[in-house]
Structures are given as C-alpha cells and as structure tokens.
Amino acid sequence: MRILHQSQGFTTFEQAFEIAEKSNQPVLYSKTMEIEAIDPLQFYEAGYSIFNGERSYWQDPKSECTYAGAGSAKTFHIKETDRFNALSEQWKRFLKDAVIEKGAVWTGPVILGGFSFDPEKNKGAEWGSFNQGHFQLPAFMLTVDQYGKSFLTVNVVCNKGEHAVTVWNQMQKQKAALLNKTVNSLKDVNVLSIKECQPLEWKSSLTAVVERINRDELEKVVLARKVKVEFDDRKRSDSILEKLRDDQSESFIFSFEAGESCFIGATPERLIKKYKNKVLSTCLAGSIARGKTMNEDQEFGKELLSDEKNLGEHEIVVRMISQSLEDLCSHLSVPDQPVLMKMRDIQHLYTPVEGITERDSILEFVKKLHPTPALGGTPTHKAMEIIREEEEMDRGFYAAPVGWLNAEGDGEFAVAIRSGLLSGKHAYLYAGCGVVKDSDAESEYQETLIKLRPMVRAVGGTIS
C-alpha cells in the first residue's frame, strides 16, 4: 500500500494529469503555499546540491518582491532572432491548460531570465549556454514579499503516461530536502588575475567614434568593454550574490544559472515594470563619481546636474523612452528635470517615466524599448551597427533585458549592466559608457572603471 497524505493539492494535481492524458499535451500544475519566513539567499544556497545549474535569483531595489528559484520545471531556450515574441508565444501556449492554485500577488507560475543584447552579433563561445533568450520556470520558487512573508510555489509539468502518485512523492521528497537543508559556509576561491581586454584599442575606437558623431553620422552610441577574471577554482554565484546584496541594495540583484554558466549582476537601471494597467520605466544615463567627503559628494552631484555633456547623454534616453511608451500607453507622465541616483561607487542622472496602458504583456514593452540609448544609442539602427563593428567582444546578455514575467503578463525587467558571466574558472565583467560629441576617451575609460568596481569587488578582486 502506498501512503500518501492526500490534500486538496493532490486532487488538483491528479486533475492536471487527467487533462494531460486527454489532451496528449504536457500540463502545468502550479501550487503556492505560505511557509515560514526564509532568507531567499539561504533558499538559493540550499538548492545548490540538488539543483546546481538550474537556480535563479531576483531582487528589486525596494525588496517589494524577491524570487529565488531552484530546479527547472521548464526551461525556455529561445533561439529565434525575434526573441521577445518567441518567448511570449511559447509562454502563452505552455500555460493554456495549466492548473494553478495561486496564493498571493507575486506568486504562481513565474519565469525568470534574460535575452541577448543583439541577436545579429556573432556569438562568443563563452555565451554558448544562453541562446537568444534563456528563461526558467523554477520547480520550486520562493517569493518573499515587501512585508517579509514567504511563499513557496511548486511547479510540475504533468505528462501523459506518467503516474501522478510517483511524481507527487518525488516532488514532496525534493521539497523536504530543499527546505530542511542546512547550508555550509562556502569555500574560499581566490582571484589569480584580472585582465582588461584591449583597453588601448578600446580608447582609440572610442575616439574614432566621436569623430563619426562630429560628422553627424549619429548622435550617441554606448561602447562597452570587458574584463576577464581568473580564479583558482570555480567561483560560486552564491558568494557573489551575498556581496552584491550587502553593497548594492539600491540595485536589482539577479543571478541566472544555465548549466555550467551563470549570468549575475546588480543593475540600477529598470527597463520596465508592469502591474495590471500601470507601467514604470526609468531613464538612467549620465554619470559622475561619488565624492570622498559629504561636501565633495554634493559638489559632484551639483556638477552632474548642470553638466551639458551628461545632460545631453541623459536627454536622448528620456526622449526615446517617452516616445516609445507613448505608442503603448494612454497616459504618460515625464518629469521635466532629472534628479540624482546615488550608488556606492557612482551617481547618475535619473528620470522616472510612468504610464497607464491597456496592453496585456510586459514583453510588448520590452520589445519596443530595447535597446534604449542608455545601452545602444541613437539612431538605434546606426548605433547597433557601430557597436557590432567596433566592439571586439560579444555582449551576450550584458546590457540586455533581464527579469521576470508571470501568467498574467505582468513582471519587471531591468537592463543588465554592472554584470558578469561566470564560466568555469573565469568571470567576464562588462561596462560601457554613453559616447556623445563631447566625449573624451580617457574620461570615458575612467567612467567604465568606476562602473566595473562593484562586480570586481563582488568576485573578490580590486581594480584601480
């Protein structure tokens, strides 16, 4: 005799199998329950032994909603160039017959992941696991809401021919293992070297691009570069997340594992947030260092707020984002002036843009907005051409949309700057800067150094 603690959960679980049996299609079963409060990072770490390579993490700056995912009920490997529509269609199709017992607002089936920056760029070998889009529906997803309440969503794909009791028992076993796991302290991994990839070539290419801007070929382009870090062993994303959480609480903190690789970072830049009919985007461009004293910091802030070069860099982003959102929103509110956003190492010009919309899916907004001139340039097409020509590297998911999406089409995406790729005993860290007519190669280079600092520090290194 099989002993099974049959609950309401099991009855609906069986229903999902019945639907799968009849339709001959996989059917998602998704159930959420409130659980004892748990630190999402502890949950992420607990997932390591069973689900290494299939974990995800997302935290917004206000910790309104934090997700930690362990295991994959379904991975969406997006290969199509039109990656936003491809994911949208696959997600809708996948949810068609789903049986969902949703508990609270940020729970239920949620996919987490990101897209490539530019599908037309030749793929770098280090980005091999990520395709044009990589999203995971976690088998076990922890949600921690703004009040600190914790919810566990369990997602199972039910297939024709499978035995409901067997699948249920296996899921219960994994759940118990995950929630009861004690986490050991992480082994120290040392940085052997940090190498800036072709910094001199990057500076000369930037100077050449400024000349093209002065010849009116385009108005702005963001040029990025890469730093390669070597460790004496594999660096675990858990320890990096821990540092980013301590250091970068004003940022979106994310980690997406794809087998042996992991894309991880702490970005201050929201692309779009959608909840029901409300959307919010933020324009972030124009930068200056933090001061060493409070006085100096305020002076730097004032200087940034009145600096023509930086205001120009910023205004181009506000213009493009406002125009793009106008097409998708019935009402839009755009402040006249930027304000400062201060992070540990850097301060930026910041303009929030809010709108009201009738559109169903956040992916429509992602498609319309990416790449904004904070990461691409303007005119977009010309800027992308120049990035393809001038940058020696493949950006992969750097500077591209990363985030999450739920069954209602709501979600939040940020642009993945201040980020890096973990691959084997290496990490590749990225930073870029907005190049405009008044740009100077040396100061743009210095700006990228500042932007690299949080990730270099988080992997255990230093950079000047």
Hey, what amino acid is at 340?
Answer: L
User: At closest approach, how far in Å is the CB of 433 from Mg ion?
Assistant: 4
20 binds, among Mg ion, ligand ISC, none (CB under 5 to 8 A by kind): none
Q: How far is the CB of 191 from Mg ion (least distance, A)?
A: 27
Task: State which residue, 255 or 439, has the beta carbon closest to ligand ISC.
Answer: 439
* Cβ-based nearer residue to ligand ISC, 46 or 441: 441
Which of ligand ISC, Mg ion, none binds 375 (CB below 5-8 Å, type-dependent)? ligand ISC
387 contact choice in Mg ion, ligand ISC, none (CB below 5 to 8 Å, kind-dependent): none
Which of ligand ISC, Mg ion, none does residue 46 bind (CB under 5 to 8 Å by kind)?
none
Q: How far apart are CA 296 and CA 64, in angstroms?
A: 33
Do residues 368 and 328 lie in contact, with contact meaning Cβ atoms separated by under 8 Å? yes
Instruction: Name which of 69 and 373 has its Cβ closer to Mg ion.
Output: 373
Could you tell me how many residues of this chain bind Mg ion (CB under 5 A)? 3
The CB-based long-range contact list for 373-376 (8 Å cut-off, 24+ gap) reads 373/220, 373/222, 373/285, 373/316, 373/317, 373/320, 373/434, 374/222, 374/269, 374/283, 374/284, 374/285, 374/317, 374/415, 374/434, 375/117, 375/222, 375/399, 375/400, 375/415, 375/417, 375/432, 376/221, 376/222
What's the half-sphere exposure (Cβ side, CA atoms, 13 Å) at 152?
18
| Cβ-based neighbour number of residue 247 at 10 Å | 18
Residue 36 or 308 with smaller CB distance to Mg ion: 308
Of 68 and 227, the one with the shorter C-beta distance to ligand ISC is 227
Closer by beta carbon to ligand ISC, 370 or else 418: 418
107 or 255: CB nearest ligand ISC: 255
Residues within window 269-288 making contact with Mg ion, judged by CB under 5 A = 287
Shortest reach from residue 233's CB to ligand ISC, in Å:
28
> What per-residue string of b and e applies to 424-449 under the rule 16 or more CB within 10 Å gives b?
eebbbbbbbbbbbeebebeebbebbb
Q: Which of 45, 54, 126, 269 is catalytic?
A: 269
Catalytic-residue membership of 269: yes
Angle at the Cα of 219 from the Cα atoms of 215 and 224, rounded to 5 degrees? 105
Cβ(351)–Cβ(338) below 8 Å: yes
CA distance 262 to 11: 37
Residue entry with tokens 């760029």: 121
Comparing CB distances to ligand ISC, the nearer of 112 and 375 is 375
Q: Minimum distance from CB of 390 to ligand ISC (Å)?
A: 14
Write down the least CB distance from residue 268 to ligand ISC, Å.
7
Applying CB under 5 A, which part among 317-325, 329-337, 379-387, 431-439 lies near Mg ion? 431-439
Task: Report the partner that residue 284 touches, choosing among ligand ISC, Mg ion, none (CB closer than 5 to 8 A by kind).
Answer: ligand ISC
401 binds Mg ion (CB under 5 A): no
109: left (phi over 0), alpha (psi -120 to 50) or beta: beta
Interacting partner of 222 out of ligand ISC, Mg ion, none (Cβ under 5 to 8 A depending on kind): ligand ISC
Binding stretches for ligand ISC (CB under 6 A):
222, 224, 269, 284-287, 313, 348, 374-375, 399, 417-418, 431-434, 451
Contacting residue, 26, 434, 454, 461, with Mg ion by CB under 5 A: 434
Q: 74, 220, 235, 451: which is the annotated catalytic residue? A: 220
Q: Which residues contact 32 (CB under 8 A, 6 or more apart)?
A: 101, 102, 103, 104, 107, 108, 143, 151, 152, 153, 154
- Cα separation, 319 vs 294, in Å, equals 32
- Sign of the dihedral defined by the CA atoms of residues 80, 251, 124, 320, in that order: positive
Among 433, 441, 449, 455, binds Mg ion (CB under 5 A): 433
Task: Please state, as a whole number, how many other Cβ atoms lie within 10 Å of the Cβ of residue 31.
Answer: 24
**Residue 288 beta carbon to Mg ion: minimum distance, rounded to whole angstroms:** 9
Q: What element of type H or E holds 438?
A: none
* Minimum distance from residue 313 beta carbon to Mg ion (Å): 5
What's the half-sphere exposure (Cβ side, CA atoms, 13 Å) at 296? 7
Active site annotation includes 425: no
- In the complex, minimum distance from the CB of residue 281 to Mg ion, in angstroms, rounded to a whole number: 19
Cβ atoms of 135 and 72 within 8 Å: the answer is no
Residues 286-305 that bind Mg ion (CB under 5 A): 287
Q: 150-158 and 191-196 as β-strands: parallel, antiparallel, unpaired?
A: unpaired
346 binds, among ligand ISC, Mg ion, none (CB under 5 to 8 A by kind): none
Which residue ranges make up the site for Mg ion (CB under 5 A)? Answer: 287, 433-434
Catalytic residues: 220, 269
